[in-house]
Structure 1
């Protein structure tokens, strides 16, 4: 029972920080009336994990409360740094990309860069056009400036055509995008490609506008530390 008490206190205390934080109209946590940034979110998440590890990995078996607190402090520092780096990388990408059709989103534990078909490809083609290549080289420079991450390139299509055709097209498009990133200096060891075909739509395929949103390539940037 003594082993569990500090563990529960550390976990509950850190989680309570999140639960008690005010939220904006969309349910996002806020602090001081402004939306909580990723560094703050990372610090809270790190405190939770650090507190748990501090309690469960106690060495002296005598003062797990202190071990949980130490773990929470270290975890908060590490998580805060990771969140701050993602914030910085997101801002740098948004500032360097001069294309309003490209969407950069910070999900807290990774960044996603969503590029529509119109930015990259002609209809039913997997060859990246000139503007798309320019944008991808900009992204490659950013990835080289922030090297501690892996990159997943995911191709998507709408539901028009056969499932086999869409799967093949999505895979070829993902490989084309990845090829330009590596040509821009990104290590191939960091990059993987996947085709999802029409299996993960971002919008309804019942309208032309929805199908256009579904024809896209996503670049997922996942920190490794």
Structure 2
């Protein structure tokens, strides 16, 4: 009984993390941290895995699995939480938005601040933002970096595909030249695909002209 109660403690601590929150400087709201979410999910998965083991003391095995799962899930969440907080701080006032999707962080760089019309030359404004991005990326080396360029639907599809690839490449080149390891970069042109707004209006087309950097934790 004592052994079982002792093992309950790490599980209880992991579940208690579900009450943890972080401060979002963009919305001025409290939000549940990914550390808490990851720990909670990890605990649940670990508990199920432990409970399915055959043999005696299934309760003990479930508790051990929950504790180990919480540590693994919370570790990734915490790592990305810290990275997200630093990126939000660096990107304030740059025009680059920072959003979170699970354990992934997405930086949206609209065309209005990245490139002049029909150009692949980075603007001074986005150079300053990318400098801040590279500082964070060099600190967090266990993050894979996906860079995808997008265009609106105006013009030939083949031309837009090529332009989106060249713009994504320009962003990737800047980061590499600023010290981010090139083998971490996955650079693609998305062309007209995945619009975030209607191409029927100028405001919608402006939103679709963008470069997105998606940061994914390396779980290997």
TM-score (norm 2): 0.81
1:72 counterpart residue number: 66
Residues 68-107 of structure 1 aligned to structure 2 (within 5 Å): 68-107=62-101
Q: Quickly say closer, same or farther: Cα 1:183–1:98, change in 2 above 3 A.
A: same
2:105 corresponds to which of 111, 115, 120: 111
Range with greater deviation from structure 2 (184-193 or 73-82): 73-82
The answer on whether the counterparts of 2:149 and 2:190 sit within 8 Å (CA) in structure 1 is yes
Question: Which 5+ residue runs of structure 2 have no aligned equivalent?
Answer: 1-14, 19-28
Residues 11-26 of structure 1 aligned to structure 2 (within 5 Å): none
Residues 210-225 of structure 1 aligned to structure 2 (within 5 Å): 210-225=204-219
What CA deviation, in whole Å up to 9, does each residue of 1:17-60 have, x standing for no partner? 8xxx9xxxxxxxxxxx953221111112212332343345x4x7
1:129 counterpart residue number: 123
Instruction: Give how far 1:108 is off.
Output: 2.1
The answer on whether the counterparts of 2:90 and 2:132 sit within 8 Å (CA) in structure 1 is yes
1:44 corresponds to which of 33, 36, 40: 40
CA distance in 1, matches of 2:151, 2:104: 23
Instruction: Give how far 1:63 is off.
Output: 2.9
CA distance in 1, matches of 2:135, 2:142: 13
The count of aligned residue pairs is 194
Residues 197-212 of structure 1 aligned to structure 2 (within 5 Å): 197-212=191-206
2:155 counterpart residue number: 161
What CA deviation, in whole Å up to 9, does each residue of 1:120-168 have, x standing for no partner? 1011111112221121121011001111111000111111111111111
TM-score (norm 1): 0.79
Indicate the RMSD between aligned Cα atoms, in angstroms: 2.1
Question: Which 5+ residue runs of structure 1 have no aligned equivalent?
Answer: 1-16, 22-32
